[in-house]
Structure 1
Amino acid sequence: MSRRLIDLSVPVLDGPSEATPVEVDLIDHASAPAALGLTPEDFPEGEAITNETVTLTTHTGTHMDAPLHYGVTSGGRPAAAIDEVPLDWCYAPGVRLDLRHVPPGAGITAADVQDALAKIPHELRPGDIVLIWTGADRLWGTDAYRAHHPGMTRESTAWLVERGVKVIGIDSWGFDRPFGAMIGDYRETGDNAFLWPAHLYGREQAYCQLEKLAHLDELPTATGFTVACFPVKLTGLGAGWTRVVAIVEER
């Protein structure tokens, strides 16, 4: 028996696929001695150790959204921040659902999720981590990545959470439909139910989202692997950067 680790995360970097900048202030090996009040001669080979100051949002790169991101309360109780997410939610059997046929801008319905599940087939168990495979990560590194993807709906999200799923991931820029599609429908109809319906379902029942996954095509099967997705422990915040890894046991 051997173990294979598959990285399901995008890199954190400044580029066209991110809506907000990533700024890095680097103290490199050569400039580090002066930053410490010393000289290069004080260090072997004239070089000290580096340091970096990074400015970015908690939603940059692959990350987990906590219930607090969706609203102040969840299920009638104070919504959990990212440092309060139970660790056992973040290490569990994974289930990949193939929704690549859903077109960009469209909503992934509960029927879509049920059909994808039936094709595996797999009976969901409480605690399963469900990964929504749209194929949008192929656009990573381009402007199109931010808007050329489908998104979950309130109904599809509720259907999974009501069956005990606590973490749902997606390989696109956002969990809901693209920003432009939601805003366009809202302005046309005046109906605010079009605004982040999957996110806002989290005010009713607590769950977490993984956004900006990648490489779901590298999973050898739709089930039979474990997902590890522990977020950085940022006290009191609504999201945290997450290195998502699939653990595959192979004979």
Structure 2
Amino acid sequence: MSGKRIEFDFTVEFTNGGGLQGQGFRLDIDGDDIDDAALAGDLVRDLRLLMAGPVRITRKTIIDEAHKRVAPPARQLPGIVELSHVVCDGTVTYPGLPAPRICDYLGREASRAHYAEGTEFQIARIDMVANTGTYVDCPFHRYADGADLAQMPASAFADLDAVVVDADHRDLRAIDAEQLRGVELRGRAVLVRTGWDVHWESPAYADGHPFLTEAAAIWLRDCGVVLVGIDSMNIDDTRAKARPVHSILLGAGIPIVEHLCNLYALPREGFRFTALPPRFAGVGTFPVRAIATLGDAATG
């Protein structure tokens, strides 16, 4: 903890009317400085202000002075774990499918002609197939009469009670129903942790990846799961042309998320899973920002 404090004047405007002013107010800070936005947040939290709107900080001075109180224990906030791969221009997700092309539709320099002096924007253009990066499959991906992304409710992808099933790729490639026994599955998103994501963007990623068997898919369907995810290139065995896992799960309306990553960072249970796609009609697959929510938010 540093021996720095900050003295400042402030004005707080409340969203339900009225305001609050302070002069010569002092707060402990970590480090040698703090920006106005962070200072405003600390002020609102320390004073436990409700309905706080804009906060204006003036006459800010850093003081070499010992902290006046012992800092309280850090508040335990829910943690967010990123479970999606980063997609860049040229990233290959599935060998044989084209990589995305990411470029400017309107660059910053060109945009200046459209706006006032000193104002510029970038508008990106992305050309890609839907099976890019970490993505979700919904029934329309497999079945012409299945629900597409626009027809699936957001609740199918968001804030799902989830559980991790360990199936290390160094121990097995074909993940059968036996590996899914002894786990509370009903009503949950099931994330299969194989560790195969270590091969992402390497030739090995497509070579001999782990997958679920048909029996595993039947077991998951019959146990009433609501979503199945895997950190592998495909949930099916791509050495064969049949896709029984996709057929069984999507036929039952159970979304599939492929190409997950960082599942090693998750506990076995006690977290929530979200992988929301945009609402495109006539599309059965699309990239998602998949996350796990740990901590207090996982107890609801």
Q: Which amino acid aligns with 1:244?
A: A
Tell whether the 8 Å contact from 1:64 to 1:231 is kept in structure 2 after alignment.
yes
CA contact (8 A) 1:233 1:240 kept: no
Give the counterpart of 1:23 among 101, 112, 130. 101
The aligned residue for residue 185 of structure 2 is 124
Change (3 A) 1:32 1:64: same
- Aligned with residue 193 of structure 2, among 105, 125, 133: 133
The match for 2:257 among 201, 207, 210 is: 210
Task: Select 1:152's aligned residue among 212, 237, 241.
Answer: 212
Instruction: Check the 8 A contact 1:102/1:150 in 2, yes or no.
Output: no
Instruction: State whether structure 2 residue 185 is matched by structure 1 residue 112.
Output: no
Secondary structure, aligned partner of 1:3: coil
Instruction: Give, in whole Å, the separation in 2 of the partners of 1:21 and 1:62.
Output: 13
In structure 1, the gaps of 5 or more residues are 73-77, 184-194
Identity of aligned residues (%): 24
Asked whether the equivalents of residues 169 and 196 of structure 2 are also in contact (C-alpha less than 8 Å), the reply is: no
Answer whether contact 1:169 1:213 (CA < 8 A) is retained: yes
Identify, as 1 or 2, the structure richer in helix.
Answer: 1
Aligned counterparts of 1:16 and 1:237: Cα–Cα separation in 2: 20
Output the CA distance in 2 between the equivalents of 1:199 and 1:133: 18
Offset at 1:201?
Answer: 1.5
Give 1:3's match in structure 2, choosing from 72, 78, 94: 78
Query: TM-score, normalised on structure 2?
Result: 0.67
TM-score where L is the length of structure 1: 0.79
Secondary structure at 1:224 match in 2? strand
Aligned residues: 217
Residue 209 of structure 1 and its aligned partner are, at CA, apart by 0.2
Question: Does residue 33 of the first structure (1) align with residue 112 of the second (2)?
Answer: yes
Larger radius of gyration: 2
Map of 1:53 onto structure 2: 125
Which of the two has greater strand per residue? 2
Q: 2:143 aligns with which of 48, 59, 71?
A: 71
Return the offset for 1:101: 4.5
Cα distance in 2 for partners of 1:134, 1:93 equals 20
The unaligned stretches of length 5 or more in structure 2 are: 1-75
Name the aligned partner's letter for residue 215 of structure 2: E
Question: What is the distance in 2 between the residues matched to 1:102 and 1:160?
Answer: 23
Alignment partners' CA distance in 1, 2:196 and 2:245:
18
Matches of 1:234 and 1:204, distance apart in 2? 20
Greater relative CO (CA pairs within 8 A, separation 6+) = 1
How big is the shift at 1:102?
6.1
